[in-house]
Amino acid sequence: MPTPSRTSTARAIARTPSIAQAQQYALPVLFTLFGVIMGSWAGRIPAMAERVHVSHSALSMVLLMGGLGAVLSYPISSRMMASLGARKTLLFSGLALLCVLIAIGAAPTVPLLMMAVLSLGITASTFDVAINSAATAREKATGKSELSKLHGLGCAGGLAGATLGSLMASLHIMPATHFLMLAGPLAVVLYYAYTMLDADDSAGATVEKKKFTLPRGELLVLGALGFLGSMAEGSIADWSGVFLKEHFGASDGLAPLALSCFSVMMLLSRLIGDKLKARYGARPLVTSGSMLGAAGLFFAVLSPNAYCALFGFAVAGLGMSLVFPFVFSAAGGQGPAALAGVASMAYSGSLMGPPVIGAIAQSFGMQIAIAYVGGLATLIAWVATRARMLK
């Protein structure tokens, strides 16, 4: 007759396949959840701006606070990764992110909204560093590229969150109520994914013994790629619809399709990016893809009508889709501190992008502003040729 200890061991072994299967879904769920949160926030920006009666100039300052918070998150994410590891960092920062989301929806004044958005930048970038660190650790353990697919799921979550935000707006549901309704179920999903995630909580502590510094050497090249990629993506997200509206006179229904085309093609490309990386390598894909993205943006600038410009933005999304996943994968392979430093440089691009593009558009027009983004894509391709860590 088997002893109790042997029986329990046998049951644990019997449960192992189902647990292992659940663990495979933990990271995809976390990346999708992050996309849903950020997409939901982005989808309700007009409603929140209207509620606090914020002007266009003040709204740009509110949005800049998110980028500033992302930059300021570097020492926070580094210390949390060092002392807690990826699993606990993503749990605590994820729960804090959901609380901040509710605070954004309830902020009654512009100063309080700015503080809430600053907190959003800090918590969101810390959560992003944690899930990317866990993903790159699994890539190293399995030898299988996964980050492109995971970032693709983040894009899908973002589109779902933005669509949900549009639905809530059409039903005249206030952002505070919307975010409160969203936070509870997402917190449950976050905790369940956390319990299933197969990651070592002590991994960060064993790696992070030295003082945290910003990237140097080859890591600086990765940081520059992340910075330029973030600046380009953020500029397209903020200004592509404005370009269609001002340059072609597109309707309010047609103008947002520029970002939709860009995002959908980026999603589709990221879902197959890991297979392409295994066959061709990261550096050639980032280099050629960025050149393709530049071609798409220049085509949009020179298009005779808005519909041709939509095709250009779709091509740009296809070409620029793999910059972030492969840069984060290469940085994460050097440890959590390297990933946090590169991520901070990347997020600083989102801080500088909106005012730079806005200033160019104000002085020279939207065509030159979008052409400038095409120039950024060309510069990404040039920097990628010198990024020896992209493999």
- d(Cα 279, Cα 244) in Å, to the nearest integer? 37
Residue with token string 């009508």: 305
367: exposed, middle or buried (C-beta count within 10 Å: 0-12, 13-18, 19+)? middle
Question: Bigger pLDDT: 341 or 210?
Answer: 341
Tell me: pLDDT of 389 over 90.
no
Residue 242 pLDDT exceeds 50: yes
- Roughly what angle, to the nearest 10 degrees, separates helices 4-43 and 147-170? 60
Looking at residue 378, its pLDDT comes to 96
pLDDT beyond 60 at 202: no
Give pairs for 176-184: CB < 8 Å, separation 24+.
176/102, 176/105, 176/106, 177/105, 178/40, 178/44, 178/105, 179/40, 179/44, 179/101, 179/102, 179/104, 179/105, 180/102, 180/105, 182/36, 182/37, 182/40, 182/101, 183/98, 183/99, 183/101, 183/102
Please tell me whether residue 110 adopts helix, strand or coil conformation. helix
SS3 3: coil
Indicate if the alpha-carbon torsion angle 29, 224, 238, 372 is positive or negative: negative
Summarize pLDDT for 15-33 with one digit per residue, the tens: 455 555 566 788 999 999 9
What is the DSSP code string of 296-313? HHHHHHH-SSHHHHHHHH
pLDDT-based confidence at 94, cuts 50/70/90? very high
Which of 90 and 79 is assigned the larger pLDDT?
90
More confident residue, 179 or 15: 179
Q: Is pLDDT at 6 greater than 80 in this prediction?
A: no
Residue spans of alpha helices (H) in 215-256: 218-248
List pLDDT tens digits, range 276-329. 998 999 999 999 999 999 999 999 999 999 999 999 999 999 999 999 889 988
pLDDT band at 201 (very low <50, low <70, confident <90, very high): low
d(CA 74, CA 369): 30
pLDDT-based confidence at residue 127 (cuts at 50, 70, 90): very high
pLDDT of residue 19: 52
Q: What is the pLDDT of residue 235?
A: 83
Distance CA 203, CA 144 (A): 19
What does the pLDDT read at residue 23? Answer: 63
**Greatest CA separation found in the chain?**
85
